[in-house]
């Protein structure tokens, strides 16, 4: 069964430590960092998307 939602990967920046990392962006706009980032160690949880996700046809 395909239970995968239309999540998109995008580059995001941590607003606290300004680390750049890859995260998953849900259609609802939620940003979830993928795995653990060696750059972002603050765990602030506030991220700003740097790239617009590629729209699916
Ligand atoms: Zn951080």
* DSSP symbols for the chain: -------EEEEEEETTT--EEEEEE-TT--EEE-S--SS--S----EEE-SPPPPP-
pTM for the whole thing?
0.64
Decide if 41 is inside a domain: yes
Decide if 57 is inside a domain: no
Both tokens of residue 34? Answer: 């993928």
Decide if 2 is inside a domain: no
Q: How many domains does the chain have?
A: 1
Residue 7 Cα to ligand 1 middle (Å): 22
Chain mean pLDDT for the chain = 78
Instruction: Find tokens 């740097």 and name the residue.
Output: 50
User: ∠ CA 17-46-56 to the nearest 5 degrees?
Assistant: 115
Decide if 20 is inside a domain: yes
Residue 3 Cα to ligand 1 middle (Å): 30
Decide if 54 is inside a domain: no
Residue 11 Cα to ligand 1 middle (Å): 13
pLDDT band, residue 50 (cuts 50/70/90): confident
Decide if 23 is inside a domain: yes
Whole-number Å distance between alpha carbons of 7 and 17: 25
Q: Which domain holds residue 15?
A: 8-49
Residue 14 Cα to ligand 1 middle (Å): 5
Give the model's pLDDT for residue 10. Answer: 86
Residue 54 Cα to ligand 1 middle (Å): 25
């Amino acid at each position: 069964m395909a239970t995968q939602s239309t999540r998109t990967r995008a580059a995001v920046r941590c607003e606290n430590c300004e680390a750049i990392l890859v995260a998953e962006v849900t259609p609802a706009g939620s940003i979830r960092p993928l795995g653990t980032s060696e750059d972002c160690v603050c765990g602030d949880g506030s991220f700003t998307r740097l790239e617009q996700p590629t729209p699916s046809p």
